[in-house]
A and B are shown apart, each in its own frame.
Chain A
Amino acid sequence: MTLYLLKRLAVLVASTAVAAVVVFAFMGLLPGDPAEIALGVNATPEAVAELRRQFGTDRAPVVQFLDWFGGLLHGDFGTSYVTSSPIGPQISDRLAVTTVLVVGGMIVALLVAVPLGTFAAVHHRNPLGALISAASQIGIAVPAFLAGILLVFVFAVQAQALPSGGYVPIAENPAEWLRGLLLPWLSLGLVQGAVLTRYVRSAVLDVMREDYLRTARAKGRGSTGALWRHGLRNASIPVVTVLGLQLATLLIGAVVVERVFVIPGLGDLLLNGVAGRDLLLVQGVVMVLVAAVLLINFVVDVAYHLLDPRLR
C-alpha cells in the first residue's frame, strides 16, 4: 500500500508538471502581447519594449516558464499585468469559495443518488422504481444553469425564501452564508445527483445478482440485510469512478453556476480574467483547475485501493 501510494504520488507530481508545461505553452500561443494590450494602440515601440522588460515577457519562453513554475511551487502565481496586484491571494480566496460550492454540490448529489438509486434497484420490478429511473432521466437532460434559474424562480422570486444570488463570507454571517449557498448547491447537486442515481442503480442491480449475496442469504440474512452488509460496499466501487469524473464536471459546472448566483469563485475569476485580457491570471486559474482534476483522480485511485483488496 505504501509503495503504491508513493508510486501514485510520483505520477501525480509528474503529471502536474506536464500539465503546467501544456498550460503555459497554450497561453503563449494565444495572440496578444500583454505589454501592447496594457499600453493601447497609440503606444511608442520604446514604451512597449520598456514594459515588456518590466513584465519579463522579453525573456526566452523557457526562462519565463521556469520563473512561473518555480513561483507556483511556493504559491506565487505572479503579478497581474492588468491590475498589478499579486494573483496568488486572489486565487486562494476564490478557490476556497469554489471548493465549498463543489463539495456541497457533491454532498447534495450523494444524498439524492445513494438512497434513490438503491431504492430504484431494489424495487426495479415495480412502478415506483421505474418512476425514479424515469425522473433521473429527466434530471440528466437538465443543464445545471437551467436548474439554477428554475430554482431561483421558485425559491427566490416566487417564495421569496432564499436570496437569488450574492455571497456572504462565513466569518461575517454564518446563517446568511448558508442561505446564500443553498440554491447553488441544489442546482449543482440535483443535476449531478440525477446522473449518479442511474449509476448507483445499475451498480446495486449488478451486485444484487452476485453469488455472494445469495451466500449471505443462505447464511440466514434477509435480502435487505444481505444487501447492506455485502452489497453496498461492492456497489460503491464502480460508483467511485463516476464520482471522480463528476467532481471534475462539477468544477466546470461551478464556473457557470457562479455566474448565475453571483458567487465570487474561481469560475467568476476566470471569466473576469478572460474579459479583462489578464493572461497571467487566466493561466493561473486554469493551472489550478487542471491540478484540482489531477488531484481528484489521485484520490479516486487511492480510494479504489482502500475499497478493493484485490488491487492491493
Chain B
Amino acid sequence: MLSVDGLTVRADSAELVHQVSFAIAPGERVGLIGESGSGKSLTALSLMGLLPEGVTASGTARLGERDLVGVPESRIKDLRGRELSMVFQEPMTALNPLMRIGAQVAEVMTLHGRSSPEARARALDLLGRVRLPDPEQIFRAYPHQLSGGQRQRVMLAIALANEPRLLICDEPTTALDVTVQKQMLELIAEVAPALLFITHDLAVVASVCERVLVMYGGRVVESGPIREVFTRPRHRYTEGLLAASKLTPRGTRLPTIQGNVPPAGHFPDGCVFRNRCPQATTACEQVPALTGDGHAHACWHPAD
C-alpha cells in the first residue's frame, strides 16, 4: 500500500536522509526507531509533504497509486488528512489556541467534502472514540483548557476523522506523562489502520508494532520483524541501542553507545556508524548494503 523507494532528503548541500526504502502493507504496524538526528522525522514529514522550508525530498514514495514525493503541494494536499494522517510529537502547540476543539476536528472533514452539520456530529463521535471524557464539553473547549494527553487524543481524533489508509505517529507519547503514555499507545494500536510509528523508545515499539526499521545517520541500518530484531540484532548500532535500554543491576555502569550522533552532514564515509562502532575495521570504509530478506541489515561485521 505504501511503498518508499530511494527516499533522499537534503537541505542545501547536506544529505539528511539517504536512499531509504521500505513498504507498509494494509493494516501493518511498522516502527521507525533511532536516536535524535537519525532522520526519522524527516522521513515521515517528506511522506506528508510537510518538510520545513529549504529542505527537499527526492526518490519515490507511493500511497496506492498516488505519488507523495516530488509533486507540487496542490496535487497532494487532498491526500493529507484523508488518505494519510499524522500525529505530531508536541500536543501542546499542535492545536490552534484561538479555535474551539470541535471546530478544529470538524475542519478536517469539511475540508474533504463533508457538510458542516455532518462534520460536527461526527467530530463529537470521534472525541468519544478516542476516549475523551465528556466529549460535549471538550467539543466546546479551547486547547488551553485540556491537558497534554487530552490534546494528543484530539490530534488522534483529527487524524482518524476521514478514515485514512495510513497513520503516521511521530513520537506521539514522548511529551506525555508516563501514566498517560500507556493508555495512548493502547488507543493508537487499537484504532490505527496501517501505522508508521516513530520513536526512540524501544519498549514502545515492541508494544505497538509488528515490524521495525532502525535508522542511523539518515539510513536504514536494520529492518525486520520486532521479535527477531530485538532478540537477535545484527547491526552493531541496534545491538548498542538494545543494550542501552536494558535494565542493569544496581551498581554497574549503564551501558551506552560511545560518542554522540554527529551533526547532520558530518557522518563518516562508508558505514555511517563506524566512528562509534567497537567492531569497526577498514572494511567499514565501504558503504555496506542493506541485505537479507525479512530481517535485513547493513553491516560488515554483523553480530552472530
Contact = CB atoms under 8 A, between A and B. Distances in A.
A and B pair up: yes
A229 B73 CA distance: 18
Contacts of A217: 50, 77, 80
B28 interface: no
A53 interface: no
Interface string A184-227: 00000000000000000000000000111011111111110000
B73 A230 contact: no
Interface residues of A, number: 22
Interface stretch (B88-96, B214-222, B231-239): B88-96
Category for how many chain B residues contact A: 20 to 34
Given A214-B88, A310-B144, A220 B80 contact: yes
Interface in B28-55: 48, 50, 53-54
Interface in B92-134: 93-99, 107-108, 111-112
Contacts of B108: 219-220
A244 to B, nearest CB: 19
B88 A215 contact: yes
B288 to A, nearest CB: 35
B99 A230 contact: yes
Contacts of A221: 77, 111
A217 B108 CA distance: 10
Contacts of A31: none
A309 B90 CA distance: 21
Contacts of B81: 218-220
Contacts of A223: 73
B108 to A, nearest CB: 4
B94 A215 contact: yes
Contacts of B98: 233-234, 307-309
Most buried by A among B81, B112, B142: B81
Contact of A309 (B54, B93, B97, B112): B97
Contacts of B85: 218
Contacts of B96: 212, 215-216, 230, 234
A125 interface: yes
Interface of A is mostly: helix
Contacts of B165: none
Given A220-B112, A234-B98, A309-B144, A215 B77 contact: no
A220 B111 contact: yes
B77 A309 contact: no
Interface string A277-312: 000000000000000000000000000000111100
Contact of B80 (A212, A219, A233): A219
Interface of B is mostly: loop
A112 to B, nearest CB: 25
B82 interface: yes
Nearest to B168: A218
Contacts of B82: 220
A210 B80 CA distance: 18
A222 B99 CA distance: 19
Contacts of B68: none
A52 B81 CA distance: 80
Contact of B97 (A125, A214, A308): A308
B77 A220 contact: yes
B97 A215 contact: no
A214 B48 CA distance: 10
B91 to A, nearest CB: 9
A306 to B, nearest CB: 11
B260 to A, nearest CB: 27
A257 to B, nearest CB: 36
Interface in B45-82: 48, 50, 53-54, 73-74, 77-82
Given A218-B86, A220-B82, A309 B111 contact: no
A266 to B, nearest CB: 37
A212 B77 contact: no
A310 B94 contact: no
A211 B99 contact: no
A212 B107 contact: no
A28 B48 CA distance: 70
B98 to A, nearest CB: 5
Contact of B142 (A219, A222, A229, A310): A310
5 tightest CB-CB pairs across the interface, nearest first?
A220-B81, A219-B81, A211-B93, A219-B108, A309-B142
22 contacts: A214-B88, A215-B88, A215-B94, A215-B96, A216-B96, A217-B77, A218-B88, A219-B80, A219-B107, A219-B111, A220-B77, A220-B78, A220-B82, A220-B108, A221-B111, A222-B73, A222-B74, A230-B96, A234-B98, A308-B98, A309-B98, A310-B97
Given A215-B94, A215-B96, 11 more contacts: A212-B93, A212-B97, A217-B80, A218-B48, A218-B159, A219-B107, A220-B108, A222-B77, A234-B96, A308-B98, A310-B97
